[in-house]
């Protein structure tokens, strides 16, 4: 069995000629959840989008390995089929396409139980609705997470999972993420996660094994996620900038 | 314009064609095609009418309150036919109405008696089987006071036919408080020209819902049904779901005249353009106060080799009216394709799903059976690149 599910090696990425990632190195072992903190525009989302393979994010240098295989040049659907799933922060509305319809397409290969999962997370009333149309912040997150639960990827990329979610829903969303990442198992987890956040509050619901800070497309810090979070709460990202103690990998 | 290139005289008369005695005389391939378009014995229905070229070959009614017959018979037996024949439409309208008035190739006459509400559809089919003919039909539908009818007309051609012309004159009369849901599903072929000419008169409190679906290649379609809402509170909805293929020329519009107080209308069109020329017209004329009308036209361009034109028109003769329109023409959002690709769909699958979604208009008042049939046709059209 491969020990490292994801390896990102010296990754340099451009979007429309602008450098957004500068030499990112990241390794996520099987069963671990890592969290990246960073303010808006720091390169967090660019990193997830590049791992998923969206063509707008042009890899100028470096490699992405998934289960040891170089996926740097693969289109997103092949990466999805290999076991990578992403939760979008602002998913688009797909007019005329029902939630149930997309879930059926996603579950075609693994036969996941749509109705059962939807019921378990109080989303059955949305199955007949158009995908993401008129959904509230919390409903968008639930729709995203339900799609991921059906897809059942081995590596879950979560883009600001707590943003725009009201208190009523945050607990349920935390439960959905915990299920995705097998947080109820204490050993032999086979699912890994990469969470990006600028508030860090998701840590109250989903524990992470390792944390990083990203600024200007570079990873500056690596360590205990809660300690990093406390530091950011106390000193803000300015504090990270002043610290400027670049991590050695 | 395509109609100028069309010479009616270059087509043979539909009357000369050799026609099978009944549906069993059609090849399995033809039968399958008609079944896909809704002419299916297994689907619940209240009556049936099938015409091949100029000849009616099937005419059945299954319920009380429904009269269904070839128009040639109605012209002889229905004593009030004079009140309806060429009354919602003028034979002088254009060369196609004239040609049909001069030389009729039959058509259907359907009447629902007062207060009879038919639950299941009446299925009709106008089929062209012989090469290079002009099929000129005239249909009359009367929904009497308080009655309801679900009418499905599927039009198609023999799978291996070269060229042909279909002219369909239709006059629809919805009396006080009546309701007519008319659904037309077309499956033509690359060399077929289609010229429907439709007039609709709706009385007080009456409802007319028209859905037109054309997803397959066709040489040209030009049609602009004219609907007059004569009495107070009458309503009309027109929905067209169109796929414009390369080399097709489709020019469709609906005209609604709001002549009674509190009348309402909605004209919705969804057009996917792979090429060719697509014109989506819509015209709402307020000829009474307190009326409401909305026009909505959306076009999705999947290629740079084609033309899509949206031509909305709103005319009002009164101040106390509410007329609105919205039109949008654009391409598929890249963001949507990539979103679906991240879920494991290939680019082609993602595009096809988005196109299908774009064409899936929720049609108010349409029966679930009909909705299913339209969805099935969308599946069949294999939309995408």
* Chain-chain contact of A96 with B340 (C-beta, under 8 angstroms): no
Q: Taking the CA of residue A18 as centre, how many other CA atoms within 13 Å lie in the half-sphere pointing to its CB? A: 10
Q: State the helix-helix crossing angle for A137-151 and A167-180, rounded to 10 degrees.
A: 10
* Beta-carbon contacts of residue B353 (< 8 Å; ≥ 6 apart): A94, A97, A101, A102, A105, B340, B345
Same domain, B359 and B241: no
pLDDT tens digits, one per residue of A98-130: 999 999 999 987 777 899 999 999 999 999 999
Residue B285: what pLDDT? 98
**ipTM field:** 0.94
Q: Does B268 touch chain A (CB under 8 A)?
A: no
* Chain-chain contact of B338 with A54 (C-beta, under 8 angstroms): yes
Is A116 a member of any domain?
yes
**Section A65-78 average pLDDT:** 97
Q: Which of B116, B158, B108 is nearest to B133 (CA)?
A: B158
What six digits make up the tokens of A62? 């470096």
Nearest residue of A to residue B363, measured between CA atoms = A96
B318 min Cα distance to partner chain A (Å): 35
**Unique residue bearing structure tokens 């054309």:** B214
Is A18 a member of any domain?
no
A244 confidence band (pLDDT: 50, 70, 90) = low
Strands B220-223 and B249-258: parallel
Mean pLDDT (chain A, rounded): 92
* Chain-chain contact of B356 with A76 (C-beta, under 8 angstroms): no
* Chain-chain contact of A151 with B344 (C-beta, under 8 angstroms): yes
Q: Which of B196, B55, B334 is nearest to A54 (CA)?
A: B334
Map residue B96 onto helix, strand or coil: helix
Q: How far apart (Å, rounded) are the C-alpha atoms in residues B292 and B275? A: 34
Same domain, B338 and B321: no
B110 min Cα distance to partner chain A (Å): 34
Same domain, B355 and B262: no
Query: Which range marks the domain in which residue A223 is found?
Result: 32-45+80-243
* Chain-chain contact of A80 with B340 (C-beta, under 8 angstroms): no
Strands A4-15 and A18-29: antiparallel
DSSP secondary structure of A134-197: T--HHHHHHHHHHHHHHH--SEEEEESTTTT--HHHHHHHHHHHHHHTTTT-SS----EEEEEE
Is A194 a member of any domain?
yes
Same domain, B234 and B266: yes
Q: Across chain B, how many H-helices and E-strands are there?
A: 6, 21
What six digits make up the tokens of A150? 């059906």
DSSP secondary structure of B291-349: EEEEEEEEEEE--SSEEEEEEEEEEES-SSEEEEEEEEEE---HHHHHHHHTTT--HHH
Same domain, B196 and B224: yes
Residues B89, B95, B97, CA angle at the centre, nearest 5°? 30
* Chain-chain contact of A97 with B353 (C-beta, under 8 angstroms): yes
- Helix (H) or strand (E) holding B283, with range, is strand B276-286
- Evaluate the CA torsion angle B110, B243, B30, B190 in order and state its sign: positive
Sheet of B264-273, strand order: B55-61, B47-52, B122-128, B148-157, B179-187, B207-214, B235-244, B264-273, B291-301, B321-330
Chain B residues with CB under 8 Å of A92 CB are: 333, 335-336, 339
Higher confidence at residue A131 or residue A241?
A: A131
Is A108 a member of any domain?
yes
Q: How far apart (Å, rounded) are the C-alpha atoms in residues A138 and A164? A: 7
Q: Which of B194, B189, B198, B246 is nearest to B220 (CA)?
A: B194
Check which CATH number belongs to the domain holding A163 and give it. 3.40.50.300
Chain A residues with CB under 8 Å of B299 CB are: none
Is A125 a member of any domain?
yes
Q: How far apart (Å, rounded) are the C-alpha atoms in residues B258 and A59? A: 59
Higher confidence at residue A149 or residue B154?
A: A149
Same domain, B254 and B276: yes
Q: How far apart (Å, rounded) are the C-alpha atoms in residues B225 and B236? A: 12
Map residue B277 onto helix, strand or coil: strand
Tell me if B284 sits within 8 A of B313, measured CB to CB. yes
Tell me if B263 sits within 8 A of B235, measured CB to CB. yes
Dihedral of the alpha carbons of B246, B284, B168, B309, in degrees to the nearest 10: -10
Tell me if A148 sits within 8 A of A85, measured CB to CB. yes
- Which residue of A92, A95, A147 is in closest CB contact with B343? A147
Same domain, B291 and B338: no
- Measured from the Cβ of residue B4, the count of other Cβ atoms closer than 10 Å reads 6
Same domain, B154 and B198: yes
B235 min Cα distance to partner chain A (Å): 25
User: Considering B296, B316, B332, which residue would you say is the last residue of a domain?
Assistant: B332
- Helix (H) or strand (E) holding B55, with range, is strand B55-61
Strands B47-52 and B55-61: antiparallel
**Section A172-189 average pLDDT:** 91
Map residue A243 onto helix, strand or coil: helix
Indicate the number of domains in chain B. Answer: 2
* Chain-chain contact of B353 with A105 (C-beta, under 8 angstroms): yes
Query: Which range marks the domain in which residue B120 is found?
Result: 2-332
* Beta-carbon contacts of residue A7 (< 8 Å; ≥ 6 apart): A26, A27, A28, A63, A64, A65, A68
Residue B366: what pLDDT? 66
* Beta-carbon contacts of residue A169 (< 8 Å; ≥ 6 apart): A138, A141, A142
Q: What is the pLDDT along chain B (385 residues), one digit of tens a residue?
A: 444 468 899 999 999 888 888 888 889 988 888 887 777 888 888 999 999 999 999 999 999 999 999 999 999 999 999 999 999 999 999 999 999 999 999 999 999 999 999 989 999 999 999 999 999 999 999 999 999 999 999 898 988 888 999 999 999 999 999 999 999 988 888 899 999 999 999 999 999 999 998 888 899 999 999 999 999 999 999 999 999 999 999 999 999 999 999 999 999 999 999 999 999 999 999 999 999 999 999 999 988 989 999 999 999 999 999 999 999 999 999 999 999 999 999 998 999 899 988 988 876 666 676 677 777 777 766 665 4
Taking a contact as any Cβ pair under 8 Å apart, which residues of chain B between 341 and 360 contact chain A?
341-347, 349-350, 353-354, 356-360
* Chain-chain contact of B353 with A86 (C-beta, under 8 angstroms): no
Q: How far apart (Å, rounded) are the C-alpha atoms in residues B199 and B172? A: 6
Is A118 a member of any domain?
yes
Helix/strand/coil (H/E/C) assignment for every residue in B326-338: EEEEECCCHHHHH
Same domain, B233 and B370: no
Residue A249: what pLDDT? 44
* Beta-carbon contacts of residue B172 (< 8 Å; ≥ 6 apart): B88, B140, B141, B143, B180, B182, B198, B199, B200, B201, B208
- Measured from the Cβ of residue A40, the count of other Cβ atoms closer than 10 Å reads 8
Helix H segments across B180-284?
A: none
* Chain-chain contact of A77 with B342 (C-beta, under 8 angstroms): yes
Map residue A239 onto helix, strand or coil: helix
pLDDT tens digits, one per residue of A32-54: 999 999 998 999 999 999 999 99
Indicate the number of domains in chain A. Answer: 1
- Measured from the Cβ of residue B122, the count of other Cβ atoms closer than 10 Å reads 25
Is A237 a member of any domain?
yes
Q: Taking the CA of residue A221 as centre, how many other CA atoms within 13 Å lie in the half-sphere pointing to its CB? A: 25
Map residue A133 onto helix, strand or coil: coil
Chain B residues with CB under 8 Å of A55 CB are: 338
Is A193 a member of any domain?
yes
């Amino acid at each position: 069995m491969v020990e490292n599910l994801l390896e990102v090696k010296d990754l340099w990425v451009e979007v429309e000629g602008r450098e957004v990632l500068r030499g990112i190195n990241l390794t996520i072992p099987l069963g671990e959840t890592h969290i990246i903190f960073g303010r808006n525009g720091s390169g967090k989302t660019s990193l997830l989008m590049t791992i998923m393979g969206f063509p707008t994010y042009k890899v100028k240098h470096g490699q992405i390995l998934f289960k040891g295989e170089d996926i740097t040049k693969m289109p997103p659907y092949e990466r999805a089929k290999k076991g990578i799933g992403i939760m979008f922060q602002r998913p688009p509305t797909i007019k005329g396409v029902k939630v149930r319809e997309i879930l059926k397409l996603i579950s075609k290969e693994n036969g996941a139980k749509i109705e059962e999962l939807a019921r378990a997370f109080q989303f059955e009333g949305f199955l007949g609705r158009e995908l993401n149309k008129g959904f509230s912040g919390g409903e968008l997150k639930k729709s995203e997470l339900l799609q991921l639960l059906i897809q059942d990827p081995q590596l879950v990329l979560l883009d600001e999972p707590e943003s725009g979610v009201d208190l009523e829903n945050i607990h349920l969303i935390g439960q959905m993420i915990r299920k995705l990442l097998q947080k109820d198992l204490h050993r032999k987890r086979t699912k890994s996660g990469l969470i990006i956040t600028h508030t860090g509050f998701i840590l109250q619901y989903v524990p992470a094994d390792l944390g990083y800070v990203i600024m200007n497309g570079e990873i500056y810090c690596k360590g205990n996620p809660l300690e990093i979070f406390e530091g950011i709460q106390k000193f803000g990202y300015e504090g990270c900038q002043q610290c400027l103690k670049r991590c050695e990998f | 314009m395509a109609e100028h290139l069309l010479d009616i005289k270059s087509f043979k008369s539909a009357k000369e064609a050799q026609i099978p005695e009944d549906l069993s005389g059609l090849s399995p391939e033809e039968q399958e095609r008609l079944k896909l378009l809704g002419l299916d014995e297994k689907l619940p229905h209240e009556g049936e009418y099938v015409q091949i070229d100029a000849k009616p070959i099937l005419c059945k009614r299954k319920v009380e309150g429904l009269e269904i017959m070839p128009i040639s018979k109605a012209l002889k037996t229905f004593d009030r036919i004079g009140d309806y024949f060429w009354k919602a439409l003028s034979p002088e309208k254009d060369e196609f109405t004239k040609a049909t008035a001069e030389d009729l190739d039959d058509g259907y006459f359907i009447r629902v008696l007062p207060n009879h509400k038919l639950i299941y559809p009446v299925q009709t089919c106008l089929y062209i089987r012989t090469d290079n003919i002009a099929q000129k039909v005239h249909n009359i539908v009367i929904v009497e006071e308080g009655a309801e009818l679900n009418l499905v007309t599927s039009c198609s051609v023999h799978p291996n036919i070269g060229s042909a012309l279909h002219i369909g004159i239709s006059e629809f009369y919805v009396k006080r408080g009546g309701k007519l849901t008319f659904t037309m599903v077309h499956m033509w072929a690359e060399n077929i020209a289609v010229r429907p000419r439709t007039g609709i008169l709706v009385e007080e409190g009456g409802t007319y819902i028209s859905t037109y679906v054309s997803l397959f290649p066709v040489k040209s379609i030009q049609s602009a049904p004219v609907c007059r809402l004569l009495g107070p509170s009458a309503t009309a909805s027109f929905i067209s779901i169109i796929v414009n293929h390369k080399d097709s020329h489709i020019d469709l519009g609906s005209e609604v005249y709001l002549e009674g107080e509190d009348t309402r209308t909605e004209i919705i069109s969804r057009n996917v353009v792979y090429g060719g020329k697509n014109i989506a017209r819509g015209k709402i004329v307020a000829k009474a106060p307190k009326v409401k009308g909305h026009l909505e036209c959306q076009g999705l361009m999947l290629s740079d080799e084609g033309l899509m034109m949206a031509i909305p028109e709103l005319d009002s003769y009164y101040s106390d009216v509410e007329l609105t329109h919205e039109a949008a023409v654009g391409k598929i959002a890249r963001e949507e394709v990539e979103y679906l690709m991240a879920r494991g769909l290939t680019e082609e699958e993602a595009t096809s799903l988005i196109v299908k979604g774009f064409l899936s208009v929720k049609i108010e008042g349409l029966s679930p059976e009909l909705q299913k049939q339209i969805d099935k046709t969308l599946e069949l059209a294999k939309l995408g690149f």
